[in-house]
Amino acid sequence: MAGKPKLYYFDGRGKMESIRWLLAAAGVEFEEEFLETREQYEKLLQGGSLLFQQVPMVEIDGMKMVQSRAIANYIATKYNLYGKDLKERALIDMYVGGTDDLMGFLLTFPYLSAEDKEKQRAVIVEKATSRYFPAYEKVLKDHGQDFLVGNHFSWADVHLLEAILMVEEKKSDVLSGFPQLQAFKARISSIPTIKKFLQPGSQRKPISSDKYVETVRRVLRMYYDMKAN
């Protein structure tokens, strides 16, 4: 019997968080090794575990996988969260890609100065409410189904809920003009595996702290944008 997937990253969100969400949604238990020192990172490099010299890295099914999209693709496929046919997979890829674009603004947020954080907060809310949330609101309204693709729970639903909750951390009433997304959030949050992940004590990570940012910068010698992706 294969062991649990093992995740190598920092004790915080970053690009590993979406992988944690996906594993949790699939009901898969996983282990984590948190990078806290430069020596840990260099050991992974010297051991050949980081193909492109970057994290996230996940050990799963005898592989040491890097590149967050490749990791997520594998998990989604393995655990039936990637649609039933080519067309559904294309739609899931499109929706995940759109959500990724929004998430990009959120992932850089912890590394900004206080002044730039306020500017970025406004950008995040503006992008979410003028571009991304209206698109998903329309998708859900037009097909009248519970999920984004094929009326089946998929990676697209998991990723969108993650993004919604992160944007709500910036503006709590950001869904006030989106009734379809409000209902979607309630539905997806009530799925047993998701509900468990949202409970205190789960492996879901909190908002990135200054300590987390300092650790990332120290371990990667300030090369966060180049290495931690």
Domain 86-190 top-level CATH class = mainly alpha
Give CATH 3.40.30.10 domain extents, the chain: 6-79+198-220
Predicted confidence (pLDDT) per residue in 165-195, tens digit:
999 999 999 999 999 999 999 999 999 999 9
pLDDT at 201 over 70: yes
Rounded distance between C-alpha atoms, residue 132 and residue 128, angstroms: 5
- What is the model's pTM? 0.93
pLDDT of 121: 96
Q: pLDDT band at 53, cuts 50/70/90? A: very high
In CATH, the architecture of 6-79+198-220 is 3-Layer(aba) Sandwich (3.40)
Answer whether 57's CB lies under 8 Å from 49's CB. Answer: yes
Start-end of CATH 1.20.1050.10 domains in the chain: 86-190
CB 75 within 8 A of CB 24: no
> 1-31 as b/e, with b when 16 or more CB fall inside 10 Å?
eeeebebbbbbbbbbbbbbbbbbbbbeeebe
Mean pLDDT within 88-113: 96
Computed over every residue of the chain, the mean pLDDT equals 94
